[in-house]
Structure 1
Amino acid sequence: MSEKLTYAATGIDIDATDAVKRRMADSIDSGDPRVLNKLGAFAPLVQGTFPGLAEPLLVIKTDEPGSKQKLAIELDRLEDLSRDLVNHTVNDVIVMGAQPMYVTDCIVCGSLDQEIVGRLVQGMATACQEQACVLIGGETSVQPGVVVDGLFVLSATVIGVVDRDAAIDGSAIRPGDVLLGLASNGLHTNGYTLARTLMERDAELHAKDIDGETFLDVIMRPHTGYYPVLKDHFGESGLHGMAHITGGGLVDNLKRIMPPDTDAVIDLTQLSIPTVFAAIREAGSIDDDEMLRTFNLGIGLVCVCSPDYASVMSSRLSEAGVRTRFIGEIQSGSGMARTIDALTW
C-alpha cells in the first residue's frame, strides 16, 4: 500500500497560507470606510460612490515589474520591488488624469516563505500610502513545479477614478503644444533582461562607478511614482495629455496618446541622458535606435501642454523637486511620434 499523501507534502500547506493571511491583515486593513468587508472574503466589496464626481469613470490597470524581479530577489531588495510594482502601475493610471484608489496584488511562488510574502505585502501597502491609494486584497498562490522554489512572480491591479469631463486621453492635444519631460531616476522597470545579460557577460559591470554609486545600485533604484507631484495639475485646461515612458521608449509611448491628425516630434538633442544609460550602451555596443526603443533615457513621463501652461508646470514641478526638460513639440501629422537630430552622449 502506498504511503498516505497530504496536500502539505506536495508543497501546499494550507495552515501556513492561513498564517500568512493573518500576518497580512494589518497591511491590508485600509481604514477606508468605502471598503465594506475584511481580509478573508472572496473579494473586496467597495462602495461605488465618489462624492464630487458628476460622472465617474473607473481606470483599471494590471501590470508587473518584469525581470527586475529576479535581481530584486537575488539582492534581497523586496521592499523596493514592491514600490516598483505599485509606482509603475499607478503611473499608468494617473496619465489618464485619474486618482489612484485601490490596489490588489498577486504573488505566485514555488514555495511559501512567510517572511518574504509578508515583506512584499507590507512594501506594497507602504508604497500605496505614498501614492495616496490603499491595498485592499489580493492572492498568494503556491505553485510548486510551475515556479522554481525560491522565486516568485509579482503583479498588481490598480483601480483609479476620474470624472468624465476631467479625463486626460490625449484628445485635446493640438499642433503647437510642447512636450515637457519629467526626469526618471534610472531604468525604472524596463530593459532589465538586457541589463542582466550584460552583467552576466561582464562580471565587473555591476561594480562600475556611476556618478559615485555602483551600476547595480543605480539600476535597482525603485521606479519613480509621479502622482504626488502631478495631482494638483489634473483638471488644468493647459494639460492636454500624458505618457508614461515604459517599454518602447519615448516614441512608442507618445504615439499611444496622439490624435490622428498630430505627430509628437522629439528633439533628441534636448535629452540629458543619465550616465547609467551610456554605460549600458558602451558595455553592449548598442545602437542608438535600440537604446531609444528599450530605455527611457532619463525621461520617465511626458506631459503634453499648451506653451503657456508648460512653463507654469515646469516651474511648479521644479519647486517640488522634479527636474523637467522641454523635449519637443506637437505638429500636424498622422497620429505618430518621431525624432529629429541625434542623441548626445
Structure 2
Amino acid sequence: MDSSNFATRPVGLTYKESGVDMEAGDALVERIKPFAKRTLRPGVLAGLGGFGGLFEVPKKYREPVLVSGTDGVGTKLKLAFQLHRHETIGQDLVAMSVNDILAQGAEPLFFLDYFACGKLDVETAATVVNGIATGCELAGCALIGGETAEMPEMYPAGEYDLAGFAVGAVEKSKIIDGHTIAAGDVVIGLASSGIHSNGYSLVRRIIQHAQPDLASRLDGRTLADALMAPTRIYVKPVLALLEKMAINGIAHITGGGLLENIPRMLADSLCAELDHRAWPLPPLFSWLAEHGGVADDEMHRVFNCGIGMVLVVSAASAQAALAQLSAAGETAWCIGTIRARAEGEAQTIVV
C-alpha cells in the first residue's frame, strides 16, 4: 500500500483538536442515565441511547389528543452563569413547557431537552440535566431523550443554551380551550415561586442599574436565591383538581404577564377584572419596581407579580377549588371575576 499521500498530511487534525470532545459527550450520557431512570413512568418503551425515544399513549384515553409545547429559559441563563448556579435551571426548562400544555388540560407524558455549548463541561451539563430530571419528576413525565451539541466558537466560554420539548395527552372531549368560560365565573390565582423564567432582560438591566449586593437578605433569603428560584410546576395539583370539578379556563402566566396571558383563554366578548388587593405582591417584585422605577402597568405586562397560573371556575365551585388546591400544597386566592367586555375595553383589567 502506498502511504506517501498520508505522509504529506498535516498532523493533529482530529475532531478533538477542532474543539469537539466525543469522550466527554459519552461520559455525560453515562452520568445522566440514572437521572432519566428516576423519571420512568408507564408508557416508556425506549429511552436514552436510541435514535428516538419511544412512548406508548396510555390506554386510559379513548380519544387521545396529543398536546405539545417547546420553550427555553431565556436570559435567566445569563444570571445563572454570573452566579455559577446551574442546579435549578433545568426545572425552569421543564416548567415552561409542561405548564403550557397543562393550560389545555393535558397530562405531560414525556420530555426531551437540547443542551448546546461551545465546550462541554461534563460536571455543569450533568448538574443541569439533573435539574431537568427533577422537573420531570414534579410534572410526572418521563425524560426519554435529548441532544447535547458541542459547537466550538458558537458560545462564549462557560455558557450554554437550553431548549425543551414536552408532549402530553388529553381526552378529546376534555380539552380546555376557554369556550365554557362565562360572565360570573371566578378567577383563581395560584402563587408563583418568584419571577419564574420571564422578564430577565429587564431584571438584569435593573441589577446593572442598582448594583445591589446579591448576598443581601430579602424576605428571609438572599437576593440571589430570590432571583434564581426555580419556576413552580403546577401539573399534579391542577390535574387532581380536574378529576374533581370542571375548570373552564387555564392560563400559564409567562411572558406578557397577567395582562397578555389571561386574554389567550377568553372569548372576545369577555373581560377578566382582577383586584390587585386580592393577593400579596411578593417582596421581590416590589424590589424590582422600586429599584427599576417600573410602572405598575409595565410590571403586570412583564412579570407574573406573584401569580404563576390562573384558573377560571364557576362561582359555585370556587371555594371547593381553593380548599383542594390548599390541601395539595398550593397557595391560591380568588383574584377576580369574568364579566362582559365593553367595546374597546382591554380583556384583562387590574383595579
TM-score between the two structures when normalised by the length of structure 2: 0.91
RMSD: 1.9
Distance 1:206 1:115 in 2: 25
The equivalent residue for 1:44 is: 53
2:337 paired with 1:329:
yes
Distance 1:123 1:146 in 2: 24
Amino acid of the structure 2 residue aligned with 1:123:
G
Amino acid of the structure 2 residue aligned with 1:42:
F
Question: 1:336 offset after TM fit, Å?
Answer: 5.3
Question: 1:84 offset after TM fit, Å?
Answer: 1.3
Moved more, 328-337 or 299-308: 328-337
Q: Secondary structure at the match of 2:277?
A: helix
Moved more, 253-262 or 19-28: 19-28
Distance 2:108 2:171 in 1: 13
2:33 paired with 1:21:
no
Q: Secondary structure at the match of 1:58?
A: strand
Structure 1 residues 272-311: Cα deviation after superposition (integer angstroms, max 9, x where no partner): 2111111111101111111111111111111001001111
Q: 1:62 aligns with which of 58, 70, 76?
A: 70
The equivalent residue for 1:53 is: 61
The equivalent residue for 1:168 is: 176
The equivalent residue for 1:215 is: 223
Moved more, 144-153 or 266-275: 266-275
2:83 paired with 1:75:
yes
| Mapping for residues 240-251 of structure 1, pairs under 5 Å | 240-251=248-259
Question: 1:321 offset after TM fit, Å?
Answer: 2.8
Question: 1:204 offset after TM fit, Å?
Answer: 2.4
Q: Secondary structure at the match of 1:186?
A: coil
Moved more, 30-39 or 96-105: 30-39
The equivalent residue for 2:125 is: 117
The equivalent residue for 2:5 is: none
Structure 1 residues 298-337: Cα deviation after superposition (integer angstroms, max 9, x where no partner): 1111100100111110112122332212211111237952
Q: Secondary structure at the match of 2:44?
A: coil
- What is the identity percentage for the equivalent residue pairs of Structure 1 and Structure 2? 37
2:115 paired with 1:136:
no
The equivalent residue for 1:306 is: 314
Question: 1:216 offset after TM fit, Å?
Answer: 1.7
Amino acid of the structure 2 residue aligned with 1:36:
L
Number of aligned residue pairs: give it.
Answer: 340
TM-score between the two structures when normalised by the length of structure 1: 0.93
Distance 2:350 2:127 in 1: 45
Question: 1:17 offset after TM fit, Å?
Answer: 1.5
The equivalent residue for 1:146 is: 154
Distance 1:25 1:339 in 2: 47
Verify the 8 A CA contact 1:63 1:155 in the aligned structure 2. yes
- The 1:340–1:127 alpha-carbon spacing in structure 2 relative to 1, beyond 3 Å, is closer
The equivalent residue for 1:278 is: 286
- The 1:61–1:54 alpha-carbon spacing in structure 2 relative to 1, beyond 3 Å, is same
Distance 1:251 1:294 in 2: 9
Moved more, 332-341 or 268-277: 332-341
Q: Secondary structure at the match of 1:179?
A: strand
Verify the 8 A CA contact 1:249 1:293 in the aligned structure 2. yes
Q: Secondary structure at the match of 2:347?
A: strand
The equivalent residue for 1:157 is: 165
Verify the 8 A CA contact 2:271 2:349 in the aligned structure 1. no
Unaligned runs of 5+ in 1: none
- The 1:267–1:89 alpha-carbon spacing in structure 2 relative to 1, beyond 3 Å, is same
Distance 1:250 1:340 in 2: 9
Distance 2:40 2:221 in 1: 39
2:300 paired with 1:266:
no
Verify the 8 A CA contact 2:66 2:169 in the aligned structure 1. yes
Question: 1:14 offset after TM fit, Å?
Answer: 1.9
Q: 2:303 aligns with which of 295, 301, 306?
A: 295
Verify the 8 A CA contact 1:239 1:309 in the aligned structure 2. no
Q: Secondary structure at the match of 2:312?
A: strand
Verify the 8 A CA contact 2:70 2:163 in the aligned structure 1. yes
Question: 1:31 offset after TM fit, Å?
Answer: 4.1
2:216 paired with 1:224:
no
Amino acid of the structure 2 residue aligned with 1:10:
S
Question: 1:202 offset after TM fit, Å?
Answer: 2.4
Unaligned runs of 5+ in 2: 1-7
Distance 2:40 2:226 in 1: 35
Q: Secondary structure at the match of 2:334?
A: strand
Structure 1 residues 37-82: Cα deviation after superposition (integer angstroms, max 9, x where no partner): 34221111222x3222110011100111111112223323222111
Q: 1:8 aligns with which of 6, 10, 16?
A: 16
Verify the 8 A CA contact 2:192 2:308 in the aligned structure 1. yes
